[in-house]
Amino acid sequence: MLISDIAAGLAAGTLAARDHVESCLAAIDSEDGARAFITVNDAAARAEADRIDALRAAGATLPPFAGITLSVKDLFDITGEVTRAGSRVLDDAAPAGRDATVVARLRAAGFIIIGRTNMTEFAYSGLGMNPHYGDPRSPYGRDDGDGRIAGGSSSGSAVSIADGMAAATIGTDTGGSTRAPAALCGIVGMKPTARRMPSAGVYPLSTSFDATGPMATSAECCAILDDLMTGGEGRIEAAFPLAGLRLALPRGYLFDELDPQVATAFDAAIDRLSAAGARITDISLDILEELRPANRPKSIVSAEAHEMHRAMMASRRDGYDPYVAARLSAGGDISAADFIAMKRERAQTCAAVQAVTRPYDALLLPTSPAIPIPIDGLRGIETLMKASARVLRNTALSNYLDRPTISLPCHAPGAPPVGLSVMGSRGHDRRLLAIAAGIEDVVKGRA
């Protein structure tokens, strides 16, 4: 259900906040709810819903989204709660003294925080698995052995939306952590231009790449959340006209070795967009073909993540997920000169790509080359490394270029979930959301 529909029902009195909360808690009360959430604020959520219902019945003026449920990735500070970042090494950390800025803004808009969602430990994998709190599972293929990955790192957040455990959620995205789970769970997820979102109260992984982003059932819902998170009032964007929209497909390695289901769903969505009047052009980004910057073993992200954790790893490494510990250690041999050179190369690459893509309204590419991967076969650090790199191969490019990108589901009903990514220009996030609103129904096969 759309956030706007829930808000309308609450305002009209056809839906009680308590009933909405109870519906979400009933969905959480399941095996997959236990996997998706680290903590559930059932008593507090019920009390807040009752308070809102009583105020509304008394005719009080309430915030526009009062009574709508929100799940929060375990990377954000919530007043009075310990932020564990999906780990156990922070169990003894002090509770947060205040909400993260984006959480405070959503709370002020009336959202009810229903719980903290599970995630990859310290947000450092595209698989979404967690040995401490369980592995969130994609809605697709849950009856196959242990099920299939939900994508990471915001895995629990994506499942909470896909399973109706919350109306909205927030995640973080350093290499694809909102968009990969969105694609693998059949929902919508957005990575904004990094500096648009305040980072206060969000546990960092890589300060050069981290971006807080919304995840929900539609582009419209993401637009509402994005506006609130950046200090607005929750406005949506009018749909950008589809006819004549200039869209580019950056052919090359981003389209190599796609799972057959991904290629089929993506190509069908492109055909629908073309038939609806979009002008779609194949382009080649030679500089990306040469560099293939995403998922490099030595990278700005790996250097910054290592620096963030080196002191804690020195004394508490045994408490880390061994896979995450191995990834964090890998950034330890990057020299200062290499780090400076990588930052310069990134800036030059961003400028070169912008020069080629300036004539287009957006770029389109498969969000991930893979459909959800069976959990059964993901054993051993090397296997996990390769699987994560594959899931995040395409998403990590948007982080490297720092361009806002939104993933929209494009698969047929009952088919494996597949995401189509729409990449905009840096700083033009609201225009991207208008484009997404204009093409979403066609991409989803609803128009």
Tally of CB atoms within 10 A around 198: 16
Rounded Cα distance, 397 and 364, in Å:
12
| Active-site residue, 73 included | yes
Provide the token pair at 277.
């009047």
pLDDT on residue 296: 73
DSSP H helical ranges for 58-154: 101-108
| Catalytic residue from among 153, 154, 155, 299 | 153
Provide the token pair at 85.
């970042």
How far from each other are the two terminal CA atoms of the chain, in whole angstroms? 18
pLDDT on residue 124: 97
Exposure string of 44-73, with b = 16+ CB inside 10 Å and e = fewer, is ebbebbeebbeebeeeeeebbbbbbbbbbb
Rounded Cα distance, 315 and 83, in Å:
19
Tally of CB atoms within 10 A around 192: 28
Distances (CA, A) of 58 to 44, 236, 320, 446: 21, 29, 50, 41
Contact predicate 171/189, CB 8 Å: yes
| Active-site residue, 177 included | yes
Describe the crossing of helices 3-12 and 17-28 by its angle, rounded to 10 degrees. 140
Successive 10-residue mean pLDDT values, the chain, 447 residues: 96 98 98 98 98 98 98 98 98 98 98 98 98 98 95 98 98 98 98 96 98 98 98 97 97 97 98 98 93 79 97 97 96 96 95 97 98 97 96 96 98 97 98 98 92
Provide the token pair at 16.
């009680």
Single-letter code of the amino acid located at 57:
A
pLDDT on residue 373: 98
Contact predicate 171/181, CB 8 Å: yes
Tally of CB atoms within 10 A around 296: 15
pLDDT on residue 144: 87
| Catalytic residue from among 87, 157, 160, 177 | 177
Is residue 217 helix, strand or coil?
A: coil
pLDDT on residue 304: 97
Beta bridge pairs of residue 169:
71, 215
pLDDT on residue 293: 73
Provide the token pair at 298.
């030595």
Give me the torsion for CA of 46, 73, 218, 225, rounded to 10°.
80
Beta bridge pairs of residue 112:
69
Nearest to 394 by CA among 180, 78, 135, 92: 180
Rounded to two decimals, what is the model's pTM? Answer: 0.98
Nearest to 261 by CA among 369, 166, 355: 369
**Peptide bond before 218: cis, by omega within 30 degrees of 0?**
no
Tally of CB atoms within 10 A around 441: 17
Provide the token pair at 53.
């219902």
pLDDT on residue 428: 98
Burial environment of residue 309 by CB neighbours within 10 A (0 to 12, 13 to 18, 19 or more): buried
| Catalytic residue from among 73, 87, 208, 425 | 73
Residues 6+ apart with CB under 8 A from 161: 71, 167, 168, 169, 185, 187, 215, 216, 217
Rounded Cα distance, 436 and 223, in Å:
10
Rounded Cα distance, 395 and 279, in Å:
23
Residues 6+ apart with CB under 8 A from 22: 46
DSSP 252: S
pLDDT on residue 294: 65
Q: How is domain 1-296+338-447 classified at the architecture level of CATH?
A: Alpha-Beta Complex (3.90)
| Active-site residue, 138 included | no
